[in-house]
Every structure is written in structure tokens, then in C-alpha cells.
Amino acid sequence: MSRNLLDTPIEYLKGVGPQRGDLLKKELGIFTYRDLLHLYPNRYIDRTKYYRINELSGTSSEVQIVGKIIHLKIVEQKRGKRLVATFTDGTGEIELVWFQGFKWIKDNLKINEPYVAYGKVNSFNFTYSIPHPELELLEEHKKSLSVAMQPVYPSTEKLGTKISNKAMNKLMTQLVTETYALYNDTLSDHLKSRLNLLSMQEALVNIHFPKSTELLEKAQFRLKFEEFFYIQMQLLIKNIARKSKIKGFQFNVVGEFFNTFYSNHLPFPLTGAQKRVIKEIRNDMGQPAQMNRLLQGDVGSGKTIVAFLSCLIALDNGFQACIVAPTEILATQHFIGISEFAEPLGLNIKLLTGSTKTAERRVIHEELENGELQILIGTHALFEDKVIFKNLGLAIIDEQHRFGVEQRSKLWTKNTLPPHVLVMTATPIPRTLAMSLYGDLEVSVIDELPPGRKPIQTLHYFEGKRLAVWHFIKTEIAKGRQVYIVYPLIEESETLDYKNLMEGYEGISRDFPLPEYSVSIVHGQMTPSEKEVEMDRFAKGETNIMVATTVIEVGVNVPNASVMIIESAERFGLSQLHQLRGRVGRGAEQSYCILMTGDKLSNDSKIRMETMCRTNDGFEISEVDLKLRGPGDIMGKQQSGTLPLKIADLVKDQDILHYARHQAVELLKQDPSLENPDNQKIKQKLEALNSKSTIWNYIS
């Protein structure tokens, strides 16, 4: 594409000017001709289809009818007047209604002449009407029907009042006419002909002004394929470069620590999935390149034992390992779990968090530097400059999406060579998102629960069933079990949430009185030590019920807790509900998750409750979540942009994404450095993308 004309400021396009230009910039982020060209229609109106009046239904859909005006009248109403035309096509009658500008309209309408009326149908008392229709004499309509499918462009309330869709169509016609000769292809001729893709010129013309449904589909496919193809090319090239350039420590020894623990001290038999993942990690760490692996495993799938065995490989090769968690609670949980595993091996393991006392810190810093400290577990306190390892060989980062890229990169600078990296998450990421966001990481999945675990039974109750739920809790406590009751905590309404939590706690304390019952409470306004005391009491079985906000979402492991009650469950997202449910079901007993909601639920809330009751599979839940919320929300605030897609959709276009990735993989197998003359266009496009950093802002 010629840079000059397509980079022209939008106000210079005929029909735009300074005022409309400002609106387009503010409302849609359109600054140049190129930006407008890539504003794709979000739907199309088929102007080749004509309805008969006796076929209409009151669905507010847009219709096109050929008929005649047989009567005109002006009707008085409370405020002003309206013009009503009776329109017939021989099968029935419909009213065409105007509330504004009708004096001019009335003078220009012709009775008993064939017209085409187009607009949205309204239905009231079995009478159909079209307010403010587009009217065109049939003769004129036949002449002007050059585009069968009329594009409808994204707009906003403010923009719609100044630039109607009809005006946007006119601007787009002007733009395409002016710039048509400048649309160059970035894909190779070989790829286009092999995949039977439209040229970029045909694709852009047919996305805006499709000559047929078939050509529209081909144009959409071409543009979506190209977006996904270049994202995958960038990720794959980044992966190849990392493997060849970023050297890592080669751990060829699987020695005494690993073998002694594996043969003599495994607390439970490993599942097939855990064994497979450990093999993948061992293989990666045995290469002279840095490992960069994502480990996905549902809540309770046994990621901690895999992390520990990976640490032992580093130790067997004379290196140190660290595990970083986003919260003190989770870091402490890892420390307790791993210390139990490590005890028979006599390893030196320490915990470093914001609460660690100065004297303890001094010992940690000293032992880290002289190599006595073998495994350090902690929070972002590990990223501090004062924390210096003698030789860090493996960094394990848990729930990595909660850390910024800069924070994590601080670990890399603590060594001559970067440590091997294992990223763990208990938030199952849909395959599509994993492929797009972590396409430069190798992915391992633990998709099997440890033996003996019973699936958690999930039930949804409305407020009216409260007494029955309380009765159920009492029977579970009588069996010696413990119960979580979780209240939502959403920042915008923190004071209201706190009030609800405290009211709930007081009510529960009344319904479950001392000395027969004992209730703990944990919330965000308590100090870390206060939280720890309450959690400790619950973990030791001194209290039967833990009333909490979502602070217990991660990191609490109480095998005796068998019931999770989630209050106002409609206020939680699917992944959060699934995470909370994972706090129970950690022992051999049958566990339950009860979702309490108000009586009025939105459609999305109904789908969430139904999904939770239907399945315990985190990956299935994450797919539903992706469809409900879209990719931006799932990845959290700092990833909310996810990917700068103009036309492709990660949810709806998964097949195209898989196809594009496959083509990118095959191309790089045949021509890894894109030296082939036929691939020069692709190489140039990638260089242009890299110079703008269009993707690395989004990929961690």
C-alpha cells in the first residue's frame, strides 16, 4: 500500500471535513484514511429481499416492501402532530409514520405510485407500522440497486446523530474509489493460490460493498485469516528465536534428590497426566535453551507436586529454585505443602513475603547468596534488588497473569543466563486464548484429578430455600465437616459489600450459636496476621464455619471442608465461581457447592448457574466464560486489550485461527528465515509489524 495517501488525515476525505473528522476521531478512533478503510461493517442488509405485508411479524426486523400509498393524513397527538400514510401491496396494509419534517415529506409523496418502503417494523394492537421509512420510487430503486447487500457500520449514539449509516456508506464509497489502486497484498502468491484466497483488493472491496453473499464470505475469510496468520507468525518466530538465542542451563542430571523422593517418599501415586507433564519438563530442562512452559491444571489437579519435582531437577544439577505466588496466603500455602514434601530430604526451604521480619530477611539474603538456601518461596518480595541468588536455575511463577511483565523480568537479571521458567495457572485458559496469548510458550495440561477424589455436587437455590440450606449445613457439621460461606466483594461497592458481609456474619452467628457452633470471619479490611489467625483456627478445626469474602479464592487447603456456599452467586464470574468451588472436594468425602441467588436473574447469570451445576470441567467452563464475556475480560484488566483484532473474533472464528496457525507452522518449517523470494512480502509485513510492536504490548 502506498503510505502517503492511506495515511492522509481523515478530515481531508471528501464529505468529512474538520467537524465530522473530530467526531470520527473521538467516537471511533479513526484518524486516517487507513483507519476508516479498516472500519469493517458489523452486519449487512440484504436489499434484494422483498417482504409481503401478510408475511410480517412484530420482531422489529428491517424489511423492504414494494407497494403504493393509498391514503395520507395528519394526526394530532399530545405533543405536536404526526404524518401517517397507508401503504398497501395487495396482501395487506401497513402504516408509514413520520414525526418530524413531515410538511416537506407530505408535499413530495405521490399517491398510487409504486414505491419501495424500507425500515424497521413496529407492532401495536395488531397494527404494523414503519416509523421514518426510507422511501424510493420503484423506478429509481431499480436504477440505484448496484449493491445487493448494504453494509451497516459500527456507530455510537453521538456519531449516529451527525453521520448516519447512509452517510457512512457514502464516505466509504468515496474512500474506496480514491484508494482502490493502492491495496497491495502482503501474502505470497503461492499461499493465496494454494489456499484459494481472494486478493487484498477484492477482499477490501467486497467487505464494504459485497457483490454477493459468496464473495462477502470469501472477503471475511481472507481478512480474518490474515489477522490470525500474522499473530501466529510473530508468536512462532518469537518462540524459534528464544530457543536459538536465549541459551539456558542444561540440566542433564536426574539425580539423588529426584530419584530418592520419587522412589521412596511420594505421598500418593501420580496420575498419568502428572507423569506426562513431568516428562515434558524434564525434556525441556535437558536442552541448552531456556524452558518457557505454561502448566495449566484445574484446582486440585496436583500442580504443586509437579512444581516440587521440577525444583528437585534444578537442585540435582547444583542450582537453586524459587516459587513466586501473587498473595501471601498462596505463598504460605505453597511453603507449607512443599516443606512437607521436602522434609524427608532435609532440604533448606524458606518463605519470603512482605511480612517477613528483618532478622529473617537477613538470614535469607545471606543463605541465598552463599547457596545454602535451596528453594525460596514467596510473593513479589522476591523481585526486590536485594534478593540475590547464587545460581537460580528454575523460576516457577504461579497465577502469572497477576504479575506485570516488568516484575517478572527482574528474575531474569539475577543470573548470567536466564533461569528455566515454569508458569502455572489454575485458571483454565480456553485453547483459543492460550494459542493466541501464550503461543510462544510450550503448554502442558494436567487434565486428570488424583484418584479417590469425588466430583463436587453443585446445586443452585433461590433465597426462598435458605432454611433448607441451613438445615443441610447443620447435618454436615454433625458429621464432623466444615463449611465455607463466601460473600462477594466488588471494589466499586466495597462499603455496601462490607455491610452485607457483616450482616450475614451476625445472622449466621445467631443461627449457629455458641457453644454448639463456632464461626470464623475473614475479609480484606483485616491485617494479614488477623487473617492468618482466623484461617489457622479453621484449618485446625477449631471453627465449623468460615465466613469470608473472596480472599479465600486461592491458597486455602482444608480437606475437612466439604461445603462451599456462595452468596449472591450471580455477582461472580464463571471462573471465580469455579475457583471458589475448588476450595472444597480436597478430601475423600463427598463435597458440595451451593449457589445462592436472588429470584431475578439475567440470561447470562442463568447460563452461569446452569454451567456450574452441569460440569466440573474447568476447560469447558472457560469456553462458556469466553463466549459470555469475551477475551478481554477473561484476561483481566492489564490484558483487557487482549489482541488488536479488527475483524476476526477469538470466540466465533476458532476454526480460522487453528487453520492460520497450521499454515504458519508449515511455512516456517519449509522456510524458517523467510529467505524464499516468494515469502518476501510476508517478511516485509512482519518487519513492519515488529517495528510498531503491535503484538508484544499484548503478549506477556
Helix, strand, coil in percent for the chain, rounding step 5:
50, 20, 35
C-alpha cell at position 369: 547468596
* Amino acid 440: pLDDT: 63
pLDDT in tens, 191-201: 999 999 999 99
Ordered by start, the domain boundaries in the chain are: 1-42+151-182, 49-144, 256-285+302-425, 457-615
* Amino acid 197: pLDDT: 95
In angstroms and rounded to an integer, the radius of gyration of the C-alpha atoms of the chain is 32
Three-class DSSP category at 315: helix
| CB 358, CB 377: distance < 8 Å | no
Give the chain's residues under pLDDT 50.
1-2, 553, 633-642, 694-700
* Amino acid 400: pLDDT: 60
CA dist 256 to 38, 277, 283, 416, 668, Å? Answer: 60, 20, 18, 26, 41
Residue with cell 408535499: 107
Distance in angstroms (rounded) separating the CA atoms of residues 32 and 11: 8
pTM above 0.95, yes or no: no
C-alpha cell at position 412: 531474569
Domain boundaries 1-42+151-182, CATH class? mainly alpha
C-alpha cell at position 568: 449472591
Three-class DSSP category at 206: helix
Distance in angstroms (rounded) separating the CA atoms of residues 404 and 407: 5
Distance in angstroms (rounded) separating the CA atoms of residues 42 and 46: 14
| CB 243, CB 263: distance < 8 Å | no
pLDDT in tens, 644-674: 688 988 767 878 988 999 999 999 999 998 9
| CATH code of the domain occupying 256-285+302-425 | 3.40.50.300
Q: How far is CA 17 from the centre of its chain?
A: 38
Domain 49-144 has CATH 3.30.450.20: no
φ, ψ at 123 (rounded to 5°): -130, 130
The angle formed by the CA atoms of residues 340, 343 and 281, to the nearest 5 degrees, is: 75
Distance in angstroms (rounded) separating the CA atoms of residues 571 and 537: 29
| CB 128, CB 53: distance < 8 Å | yes
* Amino acid 385: pLDDT: 84
Residue 302 burial (CB count, 10 A): 20
Distance in angstroms (rounded) separating the CA atoms of residues 595 and 18: 54
Residue with cell 418502503: 117
Topology agreement, domain 256-285+302-425 and domain 457-615: yes
| CB 323, CB 454: distance < 8 Å | no
Domain boundaries 457-615, CATH class? alpha beta
φ, ψ at 106 (rounded to 5°): -60, -40
CA dist 164 to 13, 25, 36, 97, 620, Å? Answer: 17, 16, 15, 19, 41
> Within 246-326, where are the H helices?
256-260, 272-285, 303-316
DSSP output for 309-378? HHHHHHHHTT-EEEEE-SSHHHHHHHHHHHHHHHGGGT--EEEE-TT--HHHHHHHHHHHHHT---EEEE
Burial class (CB within 10 angstroms; exposed 0-12, middle 13-18, buried 19+) of 452: exposed
> Within 451-547, where are the H helices?
466-478, 494-511, 528-539
* Amino acid 237: pLDDT: 86
| CB 205, CB 176: distance < 8 Å | yes
Distance in angstroms (rounded) separating the CA atoms of residues 246 and 412: 11
Q: At what angle do helices 272-285 and 303-316 cross, to 10 degrees?
A: 30
Burial class (CB within 10 angstroms; exposed 0-12, middle 13-18, buried 19+) of 625: buried
Q: Which of 390, 346, 401 is nearest to 365 (CA)?
A: 390
